[in-house]
A and B are shown apart, each in its own frame.
Chain A
Amino acid sequence: MAPLPPNHEKLERFIHEVLCDLPLRRAPHTLERRVLAALEQRARLSWWRQGFTHWPRPARASFLVSAVAAAGLVTAPGWLTPSTVIAPLADVASHLGWLTTARDLLDTFAATTGIVGQAIPPLWLYGALGVVAALYAALFGLGAAAYRTLTTMR
């Protein structure tokens, strides 16, 4: 590292002396009361409103088990094979005629949506996307201009 020029060193020494001469600032009288009140309030909080580390051990264990189960459910479509799910469901559906009707309706809806989607020219879609982007940018610019105007006025 290159040494500082003499004038920089002089400035550094000067500022260091000036700053080190500053005494500690007295903490506000309210601080102690605030801390004790906050501690008291925290002590009154129910365990589930405190941090996870303050929870009782059984609650923490149950929470972890529930979290793992929830994660398993969410990721189920990824690891469940059709044979493990669809076959039993089809078996159940065969006993429930209205489920078949509901499935047919959903199929029809999906097919209609697909046809309509294909009928829209791509140019329209790009145009719509462009309009959305332009509106977003305009709103963002308006917000920035308002912020700068208001902070300048303060």
Chain B
Amino acid sequence: MNDDIPVQTSSSGLTDPVAFTLFMRNYQDMVFTTAVRLTGDAPTAEDIAQEVFMKAHAHFGMLQASPAAGGWLKTVTTNLALNHLTRYRNRWRLFSELRRADSDGGDSPPEAEFAAPEELFSGLDAAERRECVGRALAQLPTAQRVPLVLYHFEELSCDEIAGQLGVSLAKVKTDIYRARAALAKLLRRGGPGRETFPG
């Protein structure tokens, strides 16, 4: 957390600016991480995080002492990120998804190839390994990354994801499977070990 910056004490329209700044410092990494994992774009995630804390400020009286504040922030972040992605998708779907549909392949899940973790990341230290995974996650197409993040990080069920995204359960399952396979493939590029797991 940003402990190197002094806590702001100016009025800034806050009832208790110090308390709110401390609250923000406690949660900003979690909020930003959730947003960046969903959107795959740091500047967009920062905009979303700002909006989340603006909303949090409006409900600060309720959130300040609540043990559920983290959950509230996570839910709001997820919803705002999904709203952003939906707006963006609707705006460009007509043109940008025409081309993707051509190269998307069939409905059957692809063959998954991946190496065992210990072989895949051999020669990499923990920090390098995490960076490699983070980079690979950001490279996934939005349609695959979003359900994958909601499933593995937010721990939503496939039914809940289908409800959130307004798509069928079958599509969610296929997209998650494709995302895992694509992620494994991206990670494999850097690793020597390989296993093949036909779908």
| Alpha-carbon distance A88/B36, docked complex (angstroms) | 67
Q: Is there a chain B Cβ closer than 8 Å to A25's Cβ?
A: yes
- B1-27 residues with Cβ-Cβ distance < 8 A to A are 1-2, 5, 8, 10-14, 17, 21, 24-25
| Alpha-carbon distance A101/B11, docked complex (angstroms) | 67
Q: Is the CB of A15 within 8 A of B28?
A: no
The residue from B33, B42, B50, B98 contacting A24, defined by CB atoms under 8 A apart: B33
Q: Is the CB of A31 within 8 A of B152?
A: no
Query: How many residues of chain B have a CB within 8 Å of chain A?
Result: 53
The residue from B2, B13, B112, B197 contacting A27, defined by CB atoms under 8 A apart: B2
Q: Is there a chain B Cβ closer than 8 Å to A17's Cβ?
A: yes
| Alpha-carbon distance A144/B12, docked complex (angstroms) | 46
| Alpha-carbon distance A14/B96, docked complex (angstroms) | 32
Chain B residues lying within 8 Å of A31, measured Cβ to Cβ, are 28, 32, 46, 49-50, 53
Query: How many residues of chain A have a CB within 8 Å of chain B?
Result: 40
Q: Is the CB of A18 within 8 A of B187?
A: yes
The residue from B10, B25, B133 contacting A22, defined by CB atoms under 8 A apart: B133
The residue in chain B whose Cβ has the minimal distance to the Cβ of A40 is B12
Q: A7-B112, A27-B2, A29-B2 are in contact. Are A19 and B29 (CB under 8 A)?
A: no
Q: A8-B177, A8-B199 are in contact. Are A32 and B117 (CB under 8 A)?
A: no
Q: Is the CB of B13 within 8 A of A39?
A: yes
| Alpha-carbon distance A38/B46, docked complex (angstroms) | 13
The residue from B2, B95, B148 contacting A147, defined by CB atoms under 8 A apart: B95
**Residues of B in contact with A (beta carbons under 8 Å apart):** 1-2, 5, 8, 10-14, 17, 21, 24-25, 28-33, 36, 42, 46, 49-50, 53-54, 57, 94-96, 98-99, 112, 114, 116-117, 129-130, 133-134, 137, 148, 152-153, 177, 180-181, 183-184, 187, 197-199
Q: Lowest 10 A-B CB distances belong to which pairs? A: A43-B13, A7-B197, A27-B32, A27-B28, A40-B12, A24-B29, A24-B33, A25-B33, A35-B53, A15-B180
